[in-house]
Amino acid sequence: MFTDALVVAKPGAPFVYQQVELNDSLRSHEVLVRIKATGVCHTDLNFSKEKSMPELFPAVLGHEGAGIVERIGTDVTRVTPGDHVVVCFTCCGECKYCLRKETPYCDLFFQYNFGIGRLDGSKTFASRKNGQRITSHFFGQSSFAKNILVAENGLVKVDDHIPFERLAPLGCGVMTGAGGRSLSSSSSRWF
């Protein structure tokens, strides 16, 4: 299928809005999500200039997405087509940290979120012009595209009455802010 995306061709290049090919052959644990809103995080901007990772480019970045589930893989159980979701980082779901619900410490966190595609290195995006593979799964998602494939572990189902533009920042900005809370000496309130 074809979808629209913001693609960074090389370190420091501008984000270019273009149509790309999405290999939408779902793996058993994957979900096809139509992105309805996405935020721009400083991390996206930093990685778009990252010269120490030339294998990252060309790339579709983005990691603050919210959208609607369109299709699910055969082993997906927590979401169904039509569900509204926030897309966040991905984890293995099986290591000791994931089993304790400490997913940011997943044994494979780096590979799932900062690799250049799926764990096996495959990429779901390709140039429509020349077929060149384009990095996907940035933070497990690459939300700077209209349609994405994401592992079920990278989705949080949400109520369908909440506007997507309010949900998208939950994938990073709110989680990062919550993790950086400060406590007063006399209480445990967040400031």
pLDDT for 173 beyond 80? no
Q: Which residues pair with 71 in a beta bridge?
A: 32
Between 35 and 170, the higher pLDDT residue: 35
Q: Are 148 and 136 in contact (CB under 8 A)?
A: yes
DSSP 126: E
pTM over cut 0.75:
yes
pLDDT of residue 185: 36
Distance CA 78, CA 121 (A): 26
DSSP 65: E
pLDDT of residue 176: 59
The correct CATH number of 2-167 out of 3.90.180.10, 2.60.40.730, 3.40.50.720, 2.60.120.590 is 3.90.180.10
Binning pLDDT at 50, 70 and 90, where does residue 180 land? Answer: very low
pLDDT of residue 190: 29
Reported as a single tens digit per residue, the pLDDT across 97-138 is 999 999 889 999 999 988 888 989 899 999 999 999 999 999
Q: Write out the two tokens for 127.
A: 């140039």
Length of the chain, in residues: 191
Average pLDDT over residues 23-44: 91
pLDDT of residue 177: 56
Average pLDDT in the chain? 88
